[in-house]
Amino acid sequence: MAVLPALALVAAVAGCGSDGGEAKGVPLVREGQLTTCTNPPYKPFESNKDGEIVGFDMDLVDLVAEDLGVPQEVTTAPFETIQSGQALNVGNCDIAASAITITDVREKNFDFSEPYFEATQALLVPKDSGVEKLEQLEGKTVGYQKGTTGEQYARENAEPMGITVKQYPDLGLLLAALENGQIDAVISDDFVLRDYEKKNSGFAVVQEFDTGEVYGFGVKTGNDELREKINEVLARAKEDGTYDRLYEKWFGTAPPE
């Protein structure tokens, strides 16, 4: 699916608030639907399957939509416009759901739900590279996705070691660059790289970095009605076993205790 560049995104949605509505007291940017912004591919959180965006994040947001009595409609956007709050602030969507780590900077741009997932950063390399840790990549190139906490980790930790860092607009292009030998390694979220490792035997996650990250769903600053609804639905899903079922569906194992 084509992804609009940031400027085109703004132009496309300017003035879109006029057709908004609400469901059960929750304001919506589109009448009769809960609109989600995401940035695939980012398996198993969001990916394109047969023309439909599916994944762990989408299934969780579906629970919110069901509670509100409306369908979820998913739209794609560059991750930079999602994590900066632009997609929410211009009214392109109600919820930002794209494996978004909660950070102090992002909390200034939009409001987060309660955390729903724990993550950290990891290092992916070709199995035959002989690389077992980041320090061994001095003089080589590590790739990351623009606007992510992987970028932050690479810039703060890899660059000072004499490692060249290179950005890519999405995970698909980043992993393709590794496959084609354009870069020597990738830094990204651990679960995403573990999922890739399972399906690509020539590559291995060789190191994890304890960054202590948690993901949250984003809403426009001040949209307390939707934020509280998300928190309510997440809490209920964790209590009644729905969260565990969806976790096992997408990750193949029970969630950690």
Peptide bond into 41 cis (omega under 30): yes
Q: Is residue 91 part of a domain?
A: yes
C-alpha angle 215/218/56, rounded to 5°? 50
35 and 102 share a domain? yes
pLDDT for residue 257: 77
107 domain-assigned: yes
Tokens in use for 83?
């994590």
- Let me know if residue 90 belongs to a domain: yes
Residues 156 and 224 occupy one common structural domain = no
Task: Please check whether residue 231 is in contact with residue 243, taking contact to mean a CB–CB distance below 8 angstroms.
Answer: no
The CATH number of the domain holding residue 237 is: 3.40.190.10
User: Within 10 A of 170 (CB to CB), how many other CB atoms are there?
Assistant: 18
What is the total count of domains within the chain?
2
Q: How far apart are CA 99 and CA 149, in angstroms?
A: 11
CA dihedral (13, 224, 115, 92) in degrees, to 10, reads: 0
Q: Are residues 154 and 180 in the same domain?
A: yes
Answer yes or no: do 182 and 222 share one domain: no
Q: Looking at the structure, tell me whether residues 234 and 184 fall in a common domain.
A: no
Q: Do 208 and 220 belong together in one domain? A: no
Is 231 within 8 Å of 114 (Cβ atoms)?
yes
pLDDT by position in tens, the chain (length 257): 333 333 334 333 333 444 789 999 999 999 999 999 999 999 999 999 999 999 999 999 999 999 999 999 999 999 999 999 999 999 999 999 999 999 999 999 999 999 999 999 999 999 999 999 999 999 999 999 999 999 999 999 999 999 999 999 999 999 999 999 999 999 999 999 999 999 999 999 999 999 999 999 999 999 999 999 999 999 999 999 999 999 999 999 999 87
Same domain, 111 and 220: yes
Flag whether 11 is in a domain: no
My answer on whether 67 and 124 are in the same domain is no
Rounded Cα distance between 147 and 140, Å, is 22
124 domain-assigned: yes
Please check whether residue 183 lies inside any domain of the structure: yes
Q: Are 107 and 114 in contact (CB under 8 A)?
A: no
109 and 229 together in one domain: yes
Domain that holds residue 68: 26-116+216-251
Shared domain for 199 and 233, answered yes or no, is: no
Looking up tokens 């003035």 gives 15
Tell whether 2 is covered by a domain: no
Residue 257 forms part of a structural domain: no
Same domain as 108, residue 162: no
205/226 same-domain check: no
- Rounded to whole angstroms, the Cα distance separating 63 from 179 reads 36
